[in-house]
Amino acid sequence: MPILLILITLLLPWLIKKYVFNHNPPKNQPPSPPKLPVIGNLHQLSALIHRALQTIGAKHGPVMLLHFGSKPVLVIQSADAAAQFLKDHDLVFSDKPHTSSTRRLMHYRKDVIIAPYGEYWRKMKSICVLQLLSNKRVGSFKFIREEETDLMLEKIGACCLSGSAVDLSQLFDLHSNNVICRASFGRRFGEGESGRRFTKALRELFQLMTNVEIGEFVPWLSWISRVNGFYGRVEKVREELDEFLEMVVEEHISKGLESGSDVNKNNENFVDILLKDSSIDRDGIKAILLDMLAGGTDTTSSTLEWAMTELIRNPTARMKLQTEVREIVQDRHVITDDDLGKMQYLKAVIKETLRLHAPVSLLGRVTREDITVMGYDISANTWVLVNTWAIGRDPASWDQPEMFHPERFLNSSLDFKGLDFKFVPFGHGRRGCPGIALAIASVEVVLANLMHKFEWKLPMGAKCEDLDVMEQPGVNLHRKNPLIVVPTPIGT
Ligand code: HEM
């Protein structure tokens, strides 16, 4: 009897919603795998959502409708379908999914990444592009990328001297963090005790942002997310990051007061520029700064991590890249932009890395109105997930898709602009990534230097081809295990 009562209590809201309020379901919906009452298809997801979706899609096709609780989620997993939905209807698909915890973490959508499509988002995005991410600005941060790369090379050099292995994952994290912090905030923040707390909080943010929590999708089960500590973790990270961002903002305000704004005029950085704009409030400033960290650090370090993983696993590609870099740079120490411009194989290696290991494996969208595409009726407010990871490995788009073969990008017109949906690591259209130039400039200079100055092998005589490629769940796909390698300086 008590069990029956509990069951009725649990199922009642779902039954009411399904049979009382839902009289007019759209006519022709995409195929859906069978779902359970209340939780929908949530039980079919795993921590690595992109992989779970690929598995479900193998049975139900490249376009399917799942339900996260009662939330309809359209999943698209082929280049052709993605083009028909997103390319032809970019405006309808230009909102972003959000949950109560992402809203809380991202200052109630006052940022860019999950801001609702509209005037505010347009203004914030154009500030990011003009003041931080344009080709001109990215060019002006060249000295930062070079200094940070030199610092990394010094650390690797020190490991060579002591004969010890180096944790490249950690070095890439620090490098990306330092580049973004120096470019946007004017100084590094990743070191020391407070730096460690800040980077730990950022890592936790990346984990929390993709957690598919039942309480987010079945509101009357939100007590589960309270009891299992999820909401507590969200609150703790929010407070820690807020404390950090407050400190950054205060530091810039007091610097401005001390020196007088005129003195600073030629020495402004991104935070100073945001502070001068009276139409952006304090929360908006913190939200946009958090976006730069959330959008720019982990994605770039994950690209470096996977590029080095694949180069170590694939000695032929590594030797080809080393030969290219060394022929162009010869025995000069500094690698110039001019050198990088000539490195066609390097560019192909980066593209191939992003095809196989797109850091953002799922592009998220929300429909702004009812729409019919490919004969399917999609309701307004449907979440849309485009599985770029699965598309990057789809045999319909790629020959031998599981193979790391940078040559496929040589003499090819495929670029990062997101025009061809078989390769969209930076997304597409209005909501596409504004940070491509900064990301690629950072990745190129690091990889070229690592190939120019060192030979690489795995510790304890492990075979290169045995290096694992296990992924860690999170908003950006990282290696599960840190990339530990043994460097030897070239010429020894
Ligand atoms: C390899 C590095 C990077 C990758 C792979 C990457 C990928 C992406 C992807 C896939 C999106 C979503 C696009 C869509 O939904 O169509 C995105 C959005 C975004 N990225 Fe990046 N990104 C990278 C680096 C950066 C950097 C360096 C920054 C800035 C410092 C940045 C800032 C942003 C912002 C602000 C958005 C939101 C754009 C909007 O909603 O309008 N990203 N990125």
- Residue 21 has a pLDDT of 57
pLDDT digits (tens, 9 = 90+) for 376-393: 999 999 999 999 999 999
- Residue 265 has a pLDDT of 47
Identify the residue whose C-alpha is closest to ligand 1 atom 21: 433
Q: Hey, which of 274, 433, 444, 447 would you mutate to test ligand 1's pocket, going by the most ligand atoms within 8 Å of its Cβ?
A: 433
pLDDT digits (tens, 9 = 90+) for 211-250: 888 888 998 999 999 999 999 999 999 999 999 999 999 9
Domains of the chain are 92-360+393-489 (1.10.630.10)
- Give 460 Cα–ligand 1 centroid separation in angstroms: 38
- Residue 19 has a pLDDT of 55
121 Cα nearest atom in ligand 1: 41
Q: How many other β-carbons are positioned within 10 Å of the β-carbon of residue 296?
A: 26
- Give 34 Cα–ligand 1 centroid separation in angstroms: 34
- Give 299 Cα–ligand 1 centroid separation in angstroms: 8
- Residue 18 has a pLDDT of 57
386 Cα nearest atom in ligand 1: 15
Q: How far is CA 219 from CA 68, 99, 225, in A?
A: 12, 11, 10
Protein residues with CB under 6 Å of any ligand 1 atom: 112-113, 125, 128, 133, 180, 291-292, 295-296, 299-300, 303, 359-360, 363, 425-428, 431-435, 438-439
Q: Hey, which of 135, 355, 426 would you mutate to test ligand 1's pocket, going by the most ligand atoms within 8 Å of its Cβ?
A: 426
293 Cα nearest atom in ligand 1: 30
Q: Point out the residues of the chain with pLDDT beneath 50.
A: 260-265
302 Cα nearest atom in ligand 1: 1
Q: How many other β-carbons are positioned within 10 Å of the β-carbon of residue 482?
A: 15
- Residue 183 has a pLDDT of 94
